[in-house]
Structure 1
Amino acid sequence: MWNRFRKNYLRFKSNQRETKVAEGLKFRNRNVTICGNRYFLGKGMMSDVPDILKLDQTAYPEKMKWSKQRFLQDFKNWHRHFYLILRKHDQLVGFICISLSKNNKCGHIENVAVLPDFQGQGLGYLLITTIIERAREMDLDFIDCNCRIDNHNAQTLFKDIGFVKVEVKPNHFQEELDAVCLRLHLDKTNYIGAKNFGR
């Protein structure tokens, strides 16, 4: 009797989580203003891949760059990957990608990039905090990310938002650089927005 009840309850919770994830994957595109500049914030689509690839090639060192096939594969697995993009006058200036675990309990920020000329203006902050809002709506337990150990700016930004250091992963990146794994627990009250970044 107890085992049957437990199975039914777990099935109910799983279905409930899947419904929340499906709702969270929806996104209403909108215009946002950051530091006095107007941007389009929207859900990434397959048609955005050429621009996303170009931005990725510009923002990252040679061995950190993703292939076109990698991005296309993500969009084919749309129920496990969620992209947000930022455009200014039709120019893609930033994007972020989160992947979901099979049990829909956690998310991993796979990639976040902003054009060099637009960095330091709060665009990365907006992308990350918007993803956090999505993750909360999906009822995820936590989200994490891996930063290059020498990328102090990225680590500071994530920590300002509320992420905490979990571990160091030796030789995580191709050029044998270590990665710092940062995590944000979503079932706790986190202080988001140590800085307002012009918002």
Structure 2
Amino acid sequence: MLNKFKEWYRKNIHDQKEQRISEALDFKNRLVEIGGMKYFLAKGSMTDLPDLVKVDQAAYGSKVKWGTKRFKTGLKNRSDRFYLILRHNDELVGFICIVISRKKSCCHIENLAILPGFQKRGLGYFLVTTIIERAREMDLRRVIFTCRKSNKRSQSLVRDLGFVPGEEQDHYYDDGEAAVNYQLHLDKRNYLAANNFGR
């Protein structure tokens, strides 16, 4: 009896969820308008590697989040993670990296970076809300956002979107700084205020 139930579950519930995740990860590139400017929104690929590293370094300076090796690993793995990138006039100006945990039914935003000259134009808000909607399409329960304890701008952004602070992780980054994990529970519909697009 138990084996029959497991087989039914695998064929129906599990396979349906995998189909939803697969469809959400099959992202179609397109033009988008944010704050009156046009950007090309695309799924990142290995050819974007130098630009991803450049944006990360420009956004975080000496507190750069990742090295080239970490980006390569993320770009190679297509089954549980992906990058969304924004280009303006063919220049990569921002990106977001997510990891899907099927076991925990969550989407983890691991990295978000916007070129300094393009910050406060709503690009970070756009990328995070796009991921929230993708996570809903995947029928996940939570979105987790990890950032430096000192990164007040990102913390303010996700708080405005309904994320709540969770546990801190001491010495999370290479320089010893702690990280804060914010969580958004997707069973509670959040209404996003338009005025946040100025962030």
Same fold (TM over 0.5): yes
- Counterpart amino acid of 1:129? T
| Residue range with higher mean Cα deviation, 142-151 or 185-194 | 185-194
Give the equivalent residue in structure 1 for 2:3: 4
| Structure 1 position 64 matched with structure 2 position 64 | yes
- Counterpart amino acid of 1:109? I
Alignment of 1:141-180 (within 5 A): 141-180=141-180
Q: 1:146 to 1:196 in 2, by over 3 A?
A: closer
- Counterpart amino acid of 1:177? E
Give the equivalent residue in structure 2 for 1:190: 190
Give the equivalent residue in structure 2 for 1:38: 38
Q: Distance in 2 between matches of 1:182 and 1:194?
A: 21
Give the equivalent residue in structure 1 for 2:93: 93
CA contact (8 A) 1:161 1:194 kept: no
| Residue range with higher mean Cα deviation, 97-106 or 125-134 | 97-106
Gaps of 5+ in 2: none
CA contact (8 A) 1:21 1:104 kept: no
Q: Distance in 2 between matches of 1:171 and 1:140?
A: 29
Gaps of 5+ in 1: none
CA contact (8 A) 1:107 1:135 kept: yes
Deviation at 1:150, TM superposition (A): 1.2
Deviation at 1:107, TM superposition (A): 1.2
CA contact (8 A) 1:64 1:174 kept: no
For these two proteins, the number of residue pairs brought into alignment is 198
CA contact (8 A) 2:65 2:173 kept: no
TM-score by length of 1: 0.92
Q: 1:196 to 1:149 in 2, by over 3 A?
A: closer
Give the equivalent residue in structure 1 for 2:18: 18
Give runs of ≥4 in structure 1 deviating > 6 Å.
none
Give the equivalent residue in structure 2 for 1:136: 136
Q: Distance in 2 between matches of 1:104 and 1:72?
A: 24
Q: Distance in 2 between matches of 1:97 and 1:124?
A: 12
Deviation at 1:195, TM superposition (A): 2.8
Q: Distance in 2 between matches of 1:24 and 1:80?
A: 11
